[in-house]
Amino acid sequence: MTRISLSRRRFMIGSTLGATAAALAGYGALKPDAGGAVLRSAEQLTMKAHRLLQGRGALAREFLEADISPSFRVNGSTMPDSEEYAALLDSNFADWRLKIDGLVVQPREFSLVDLKKLPARTQITRHDCVEGWSAIGKWTGVPLGSLLRSIGLKPSARFAVLHCADELEKTLDGSGRYYESIDLIDAFHPQTILAYAMNGKDLSVGHGAPLRLRVERQLGYKQAKYVMRIEIVDSFSGLWGGNGGYWEDRGYEWYAGI
């Protein structure tokens, strides 16, 4: 009885509300890409509402040592599959360099030792995967904002793009390579750090050794692991799918604060 009345009811709704609602509801279903323009419009609204309510500096909740998860799930890549990365790992990242270039005054390279000498920030924060699970960990690293300040950005700079060592999907053109991007509000946020340690130890390979991004007001897929290069850009048009990240090119929101 219920199913019949429900479907009848749905039919009634369709005929009652007319074309507007049906068009809104049907639009996303008909578009083969992830959602269509109408559904995508909510993302802009969400991001603007968040920025309005939280301001630039509102901090993500920081937790106590006692709150740290007994295990921190490893997700996505667990080991970058390249000879280059294998060689870096063999040398314990002695030859690894973080390159920062693009729309900067003076491009620079940092070794892991260089980064560890800089003033660090330690924070115990919650990692929220887009799938729904959460884990709490303690991260230590260099605030990205202080690095960018020391290098100097050109006036046209808008986004920081993180190029990573891992390839999540083997593709002939290399578009399966992991990359992510954040805007300058998040790049200069005090909790946005390039973490080299987790729970008091050097970052494990599974968690992104030697360096990963922590941008705590956003979901897990923004926390790029195996960061090799940070490129400052004014648009995403020259990057792979043009949507600003590996997951964004596969239909996920660029703004990952929800």
Partner 1 sequence: MSDEKTGHENGRQAGTILIRRHSVVTRVTHWLNVLCLTALLLSGLQIFNAHPELYWGQYGADGDPAFLTIGSAEDKDGLRGFVRAGGIEVPTTGFLGVSSFEGEPTARAFPAWLTIPSDQDLATGRRWHFFFAWFFVINGAVYLGYGFLSGHFRRDLAPRRGQLSASYLWHEIVTHARLRFPEGEEARHYNVLQKLTYLVVIAGFLPMMLLTGLTMSPGVDAAFPALLDLFGGRQTARTIHFITASLLVKFVLVHVAMVVLSGAWNNMRSMITGRYAIRESGPKA
Does 154 contact partner 1 by CB under 8 A?
Answer: no
Residue 110, SS3 per DSSP: strand
Residue 108 backbone phi and psi in degrees, to 5 = -145, 160
Min separation Cβ 107 and partner 1, Å: 32
Q: What's the distance, CA 227 to chain centroid?
A: 12
With respect to partner 1, which residue has the nearer C-beta, 17 or 86?
Answer: 17
Q: Would you give the binding string for partner 1 spanning residues 114-153, x where CB under 8 A is met?
A: ------------x-xxxxxxxxx-----------------
Structure tokens at 105: 């005054």
Residue 178 backbone phi and psi in degrees, to 5 = -80, 135
The number of beta carbons lying within 10 Å of the beta carbon of residue 112 is: 20
User: Does residue 179 contact residue 245 with C-beta atoms inside 8 Å?
Assistant: yes
Structure tokens at 176: 């399966």
End-to-end Cα distance, the chain: 38
Question: Within 178-237, which residues bind partner 1 (CB under 8 A)?
Answer: 216-219
Question: Within 7-66, which residues bind partner 1 (CB under 8 A)?
Answer: 9-10, 12-13, 16-17, 21, 24-25, 28-29, 34-35, 38-43, 45-46, 50, 53-55, 58-61, 63
**Residue found by looking up tokens 């799938």 in the block:** 131
With respect to partner 1, which residue has the nearer C-beta, 68 or 103?
Answer: 68
Point out which residues bind partner 1 (CB under 8 A).
1-2, 5-6, 9-10, 12-13, 16-17, 21, 24-25, 28-29, 34-35, 38-43, 45-46, 50, 53-55, 58-61, 63, 67, 69-73, 126, 128-136, 216-219, 247, 250-253, 257-258
